[in-house]
């Protein structure tokens, strides 16, 4: 029995590893080919896992001393940049390939390239990508049957040759930058495969495509002298090659291809020429009609915005729902255990539907997420359900009759708490307190008639009462 179970588990592990391995290795649609051949052999990856405690802002800051883009930022912008690097790093698994050991500085550097590219965007996590595999140098890809320097796979893996990644930044103005190139592919793939991306980016990409096609044509005809020939391969490579030029020689790019350059500024919501302003787009982008004014109004400075919508729900849950639930729950004619069951179901549903969206994307950590569910999402949803149930009422009403078995005491308002046969609704004062003006009718044996309406969610609530004499 036990051996059978063990066998079954091993079988599933094997199947998973096989399928997953295929997915991860499979289809590298946008890969940088190596021009010189070299020998390389895939061996088992050495995973680099991060512990949250390791990632201090000072350490990230220190490890980015080599990066001019980062060094030119103001202090508050650097803090935001480091925060993004930290969250990006934590959401990916870094693996060293062919015996390469991935160090902290390497993971920071690779993450920083992604953050540089997405610095103007709201969504920078590239959540579709779960793994980054770093090779010491060019590597052989069985799928492409070629030696590659890097690639971004639609299955969510990014491949990089460390040697070429470093060279890309070392020669900061030669317009070759492997890291930015592959992350440009990843950013584009993420808009079709991922769950989080900037909608503005997706819409505006077609604008870039419009300006690009004459340029792509001239590259193909060999008449172009700014972007390299590889950019003429297709729109994906054009975008990736443009990104390399955009960050490495922005002023020259703006001079040579102002239309494409300005479109890239809008697309990525940053302008690498604006070093003094943390690369923010300035109002001249709007005034010189680079961006039409309606779009300018919609552009936001996401880099400094850290607030996530789940925090608003948490605050609403803590400060608003107690008041509403205090009013909404008492008239409800279902037992408290059913209400608790509803609340629990909301928590389970909320966990299942939102864990990926909120925790995996680093908007909240696990503890914050649990607080969000318990004090935010659960109470807010309960309030909405009970509130709507009371606002949208189904036709008809039901009536329940119970004999009075006793009167307890007067409440502070002078009203009476009464007891019904079979202890019905004893714990629900909203149903069993009657007005002091009915005191003449409150007698053992008389009948309390409760009328209920039912709301849109099928939950009955008290509509009124009458007392009938026996
Ligand atoms: Zn490429």
What CATH number corresponds to the domain at position 438?
2.40.50
For 403, the 3-state DSSP assignment is strand
What is the C-alpha separation between 306 and 244, in angstroms, rounded? 28
Q: Which residues of the chain have pLDDT under 70?
A: 1-54, 283-307, 360-363
Give the DSSP per-residue string, 353-397.
HHHIIIIITTSS-HHHHHHIIIIIIHHHHHHHHHHHHHHSB-S--
Residue 190 domain boundaries: 22-298
Instruction: State how far Cα 382 lies from the chain centre.
Output: 24
Determine the pLDDT at residue 438: 85
Residues 6+ apart with CB under 8 A from 143: 25, 26, 27, 28
436 and 314 within one domain: no
Residue 424 domain-assigned (yes or no): yes
Listed residues 391, 424, 440: the one ending a domain: 391
231 and 124 within one domain: yes
Cα of 9 from ligand 1 centre, angstroms: 40
The burial of 48, by beta-carbon neighbours within 10 Å (0-12 exposed, 13-18 middle, 19 or more buried), is given as buried
Cα of 156 from ligand 1 centre, angstroms: 15
Residue 95: name the closest of 107, 112, 108, 86 by CA: 107
How many domains are there within the chain? 3
Residue 4 domain-assigned (yes or no): no
Cα of 279 from ligand 1 centre, angstroms: 25
For 411, the 3-state DSSP assignment is coil
Cα of 87 from ligand 1 centre, angstroms: 25
54 and 79 within one domain: yes
In Å, how far are 324, 325, 379, 382, 462 from 339, measured between CA atoms?
A: 15, 11, 11, 9, 16
| pLDDT tens column, 82-129 | 999 999 998 899 999 999 999 889 999 999 999 999 999 988 999 999
The residues pairing with 31 across neighbouring beta strands, listed in sequence order, are: 151
Residue 96 domain-assigned (yes or no): yes
240 and 320 within one domain: no
- Secondary element (H or E) of residue 254: helix 250-256
8 A C-beta contact, residue 109 and residue 165: yes
What is the C-alpha separation between 297 and 286, in angstroms, rounded? 9
Cα of 187 from ligand 1 centre, angstroms: 12
Phi, psi of 12 (to 5 degrees): -65, -40
The burial of 210, by beta-carbon neighbours within 10 Å (0-12 exposed, 13-18 middle, 19 or more buried), is given as exposed
351 and 376 within one domain: yes
CATH at residue 179? 3.40.390.10
Cα of 295 from ligand 1 centre, angstroms: 29
Residues 6+ apart with CB under 8 A from 262: 254, 285, 290, 291
442 and 386 within one domain: no
Residue 284 domain-assigned (yes or no): yes
Residue 419: name the closest of 408, 428, 430 by CA: 408
The burial of 144, by beta-carbon neighbours within 10 Å (0-12 exposed, 13-18 middle, 19 or more buried), is given as middle
Determine the pLDDT at residue 303: 59
319 and 268 within one domain: no
409 and 272 within one domain: no
Residue 13 domain-assigned (yes or no): no
96 and 148 within one domain: yes
Residue 8 domain-assigned (yes or no): no
Determine the pLDDT at residue 32: 61
Residue 10 domain-assigned (yes or no): no
The residues pairing with 135 across neighbouring beta strands, listed in sequence order, are: 161
Cα of 175 from ligand 1 centre, angstroms: 14
Cα of 103 from ligand 1 centre, angstroms: 26
Cα of 229 from ligand 1 centre, angstroms: 12
β-pair type (447-454, 433-434): unpaired
Cα atoms found within 13 Å of the Cα of residue 208, Cβ hemisphere only: 22
What is the chain's mean pLDDT, rounded?
Answer: 84
208 and 288 within one domain: yes
Listed residues 298, 330, 359: the one ending a domain: 298
Cα of 147 from ligand 1 centre, angstroms: 14
181 and 34 within one domain: yes
Cα of 141 from ligand 1 centre, angstroms: 15
Cα of 152 from ligand 1 centre, angstroms: 8
35 and 62 within one domain: yes
Cα of 150 from ligand 1 centre, angstroms: 8
Residue 1 domain-assigned (yes or no): no
Cα of 61 from ligand 1 centre, angstroms: 29
Cα of 198 from ligand 1 centre, angstroms: 22
Determine the pLDDT at residue 20: 38
Listed residues 391, 418, 448: the one ending a domain: 391
């Amino acid at each position: 029995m036990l051996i059978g179970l063990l066998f079954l588990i091993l079988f599933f592990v094997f199947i998973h590893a096989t399928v997953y391995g295929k997915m991860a290795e499979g289809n590298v649609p946008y890969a940088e080919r190596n021009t010189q051949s070299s020998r390389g052999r895939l061996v088992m990856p050495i995973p680099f896992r991060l512990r949250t405690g390791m990632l201090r802002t000072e350490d990230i800051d220190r490890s980015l001393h080599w990066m001019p883009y980062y060094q030119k930022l103001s202090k508050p912008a650097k803090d935001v940049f480091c925060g993004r690097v930290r969250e990006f790093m934590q959401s990916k698994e870094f693996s060293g390939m062919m015996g390469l050991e991935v160090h902290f500085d390497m993971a920071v550097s690779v993450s920083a390239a992604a953050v540089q590219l997405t610095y103007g965007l709201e969504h920078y996590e590239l959540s579709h990508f779960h793994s980054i595999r770093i090779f010491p140098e060019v590597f052989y890809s069985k799928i492409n049957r070629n030696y590659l320097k890097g690639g971004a796979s639609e299955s969510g893996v990014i491949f990089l040759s460390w040697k070429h990644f470093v060279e890309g930044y070392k020669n900061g103005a030669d317009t070759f930058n492997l890291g930015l190139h592959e992350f440009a592919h990843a950013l584009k793939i993420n808009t079709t495969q991922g769950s989080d991306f900037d909608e503005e980016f997706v819409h505006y990409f077609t604008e870039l495509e419009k300006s690009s096609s004459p340029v792509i044509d001239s590259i193909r005809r060999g008449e172009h002298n700014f972007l390299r020939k590889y950019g003429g391969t297709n729109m994906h490579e054009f975008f990736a090659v443009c990104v390399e030029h955009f960050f490495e020689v922005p002023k020259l790019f703006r001079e040579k291809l102002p239309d494409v350059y300005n479109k890239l500024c809008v697309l990525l919501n940053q302008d690498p020429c604006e070093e003094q302003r943390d690369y923010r787009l300035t109002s001249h982008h709007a005034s010189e009609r680079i961006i039409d004014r309606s779009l300018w109004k919609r552009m936001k400075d996401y880099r400094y915005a850290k607030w996530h919508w789940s925090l608003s729900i948490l605050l609403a849950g803590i400060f608003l729902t107690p008041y509403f639930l205090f009013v909404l729950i008492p008239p409800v004619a279902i037992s408290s255990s059913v209400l608790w069951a509803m609340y629990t179901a909301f928590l389970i549903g909320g966990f299942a539907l939102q864990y990926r969206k909120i925790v995996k994307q680093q908007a909240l950590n696990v503890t914050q997420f649990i607080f969000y569910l318990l004090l935010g999402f659960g109470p807010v949803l309960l309030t909405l359900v009970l509130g709507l149930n009371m606002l949208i009422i189904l036709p008809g009403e039901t009536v329940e009759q119970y004999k009075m078995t006793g009167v307890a005491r007067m409440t502070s308002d002078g009203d009476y708490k009464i007891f019904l046969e079979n202890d019905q609704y004893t714990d629900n004062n909203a149903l069993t307190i009657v007005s002091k003006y009915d005191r003449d009718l409150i007698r053992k044996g008389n009948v309390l008639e409760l009328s209920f309406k039912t709301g849109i969610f099928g939950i009955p609530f008290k509509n009124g009462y009458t007392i009938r004499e026996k």
